[in-house]
Amino acid sequence: MNLAVFPRRGYVKDPTPIESCPAFSKALGGKVNIFIKRDDLLPGCAGGNKTRKLDFCMADALAKGADTIITCGAVQSNHCRLTLSWAVKEGLDCHLVLEERVKGSYKPEASGNNFLFKLMGVKSITVVPGGSNMMGEMEALAARLKEAGRTPYIIPGGASNPIGATGYVSCAQETLQQLFDMGLKVDHMVVPSGSAGTHAGIVVGMVGNNANIPVSGINVSRTKADQEALVRKLARETAQRVGMSGEFPDEAVTCFDGYVGPGYSLPTESMVEAVRLLAQTEGILLDPVYSGKAMAGLVDLVRSGYFAEGSNVLFLHTGGSPALYAYLDTFK
Ligand SMILES: Cc1ncc(COP(=O)(O)O)c(C=O)c1O
């Protein structure tokens, strides 16, 4: 798959590191070797997975003459923080529509990503109740901005459409080249699975390159059936866009829903343990909503013997650490 044919802005200039985590692996019993792909170190304000997707989405926005970006997310959205940061860099206005998925969770003075929205000069924040039609809300805002003479471009939640997911097809290709350069045979990959663009893109990249590396997604909100359906649909569309030969094999998508806990963004004991353990063994920060719950999943899969002894397991660290500062009470 030749991704060079797709316009992008060049936000990702160098491969993110793949780090060995010997102390973390030892703390989990030492039978599995954990490696981490550090997409938390991507460029853009405070790093994280959305930069790879926005690299392609922003190119599309600019090609269409946009002067204003509209996107949406949860009240502590990392995606909104990164979209705003790249809009600032491109000299574009940025408006956010925030979904209060947990009633009463939007606090105008909250720390974490919310603080950064204001620091980076967001043009407007519209807060809507959980379950709202987010695309409808963004389209209504776009209509008002058009009337005021602007040229808005809507980036869907998580930048999870085939344009954005192409960024994670590219990440899979980058990873395979790095593993070759390192002489490292990875047996399994574990990724957080939310709005699905990351998971779908990685699977398309792995399958499309015949990598033979199974990928497990760890859900952060939905049930296994719902999340697998979402990832498969986006993977099929992305596979078609990037010119993967043959039908996308649905069985390449596997999700685990046992680590969501009481719901999206609500803390779990296993998340807190995973965040602490990685911080205290490797000095790497996860986040409470995505990478922390995904790592809780990996920890449990290691302890329950899901991976064969001696396996090399690669965890995709998608970032999110600014959200930690909105969860100080959880870690007391
Ligand atoms: C830090 C972090 N990790 C993982 C995800 C999930 O990625 P995706 O939405 O592509 O499934 C998100 C989504 O917002 C995120 O912010």
Q: Is 25 a catalytic residue?
A: no
All structural domains of the chain with their residue ranges: 3-48+161-331, 54-159
> Which pLDDT does position 206 carry in this prediction?
98
Task: Give me the CATH code for the 54-159 domain, please.
Answer: 3.40.50.1100
> Which pLDDT does position 142 carry in this prediction?
98
Give the span between the Cα atoms of 163 and 50, in whole angstroms. 12
Average pLDDT over residues 253-263: 98
Based on the number of CB atoms within 10 Å of its own CB, is 225 exposed (0-12), middle (13-18) or buried (19 or more)? Answer: exposed
> Which pLDDT does position 96 carry in this prediction?
98
Degrees (nearest 5) of the Cα angle 292, 297, 301? 145
> Which pLDDT does position 178 carry in this prediction?
98
Degrees (nearest 5) of the Cα angle 309, 200, 246? 95
Neighbours of 276 (CB within 10 A): 13
> Which pLDDT does position 186 carry in this prediction?
98
Residue of 49, 57, 77 with the most ligand 1 atoms within 8 Å of its CB, for mutation: 49
Based on the number of CB atoms within 10 Å of its own CB, is 68 exposed (0-12), middle (13-18) or buried (19 or more)? Answer: buried
Task: Name the residue with the closest Cα to ligand 1, atom 7.
Answer: 194
Q: How far apart are the first and last CA of the chain?
A: 47
> Which pLDDT does position 86 carry in this prediction?
98
Neighbours of 332 (CB within 10 A): 5
- Reported as a single tens digit per residue, the pLDDT across 186-201 is 999 999 999 999 999 9
User: What's the token pair of residue 113?
Assistant: 């990503």
> Which pLDDT does position 328 carry in this prediction?
95
> Which pLDDT does position 185 carry in this prediction?
98
Average pLDDT over residues 203-228: 98
Instruction: Give the confidence band of 24 by pLDDT, cuts at 50, 70, 90.
Output: very high
- Render the burial of 148-174: b for 16+ CB within 10 Å, e for the rest: eebebbbbbbbbbbbbbbbbbbbbbbb
User: What's the token pair of residue 130?
Assistant: 């959980």
Domains 3-48+161-331 and 54-159 share a fold: yes
Average pLDDT over residues 17-27: 98
Hey, what amino acid is at 53?
K
Residue of 195, 204, 221, 284 with the most ligand 1 atoms within 8 Å of its CB, for mutation: 195
> Which pLDDT does position 8 carry in this prediction?
98
> Which pLDDT does position 49 carry in this prediction?
98
Alpha carbons within 13 angstroms on the beta-carbon side of residue 239 total: 23
Average pLDDT over residues 243-258: 96
Ligand 1: lining residues by beta carbon, under 6 Å: 48-49, 78-79, 158, 160, 192-199, 287, 290-291, 318-320
Instruction: Give Cβ neighbours of residue 281 (< 8 Å, ≥ 6 apart).
Output: 21, 23, 24, 26, 27
Distance 28 CA to ligand 1 centre (A): 25
Instruction: Give Cβ neighbours of residue 275 (< 8 Å, ≥ 6 apart).
Output: 285, 286, 287, 288, 292, 295, 324, 331
Ligand 1 nearest-atom number relative to CA 53: 10
Ligand 1 nearest-atom number relative to CA 193: 11
Domain 3-48+161-331 coded CATH 3.10.20.90: no
- Reported as a single tens digit per residue, the pLDDT across 306-330 is 999 999 999 999 999 999 999 999 9
- Reported as a single tens digit per residue, the pLDDT across 263-285 is 999 999 999 999 999 999 999 99
> Which pLDDT does position 15 carry in this prediction?
98
> Which pLDDT does position 177 carry in this prediction?
98
Give the span between the Cα atoms of 136 and 189, in whole angstroms. 35
> Which pLDDT does position 123 carry in this prediction?
98
Give the span between the Cα atoms of 38 and 54, in whole angstroms. 17
Instruction: Give the confidence band of 115 by pLDDT, cuts at 50, 70, 90.
Output: very high
> Which pLDDT does position 167 carry in this prediction?
98
> Which pLDDT does position 318 carry in this prediction?
98
Distance 159 CA to ligand 1 centre (A): 10
What order do you get walking across the sheet with 152-154 strand by strand? 124-129, 93-100, 68-74, 152-154
- Reported as a single tens digit per residue, the pLDDT across 55-74 is 999 999 999 999 999 999 99
Hey, what amino acid is at 98?
L
Ligand 1 nearest-atom number relative to CA 194: 11
Helix, strand, coil distribution of the chain in percent, nearest 5: 45, 15, 35
316 within 8 A of 217, measured Cβ to Cβ: no
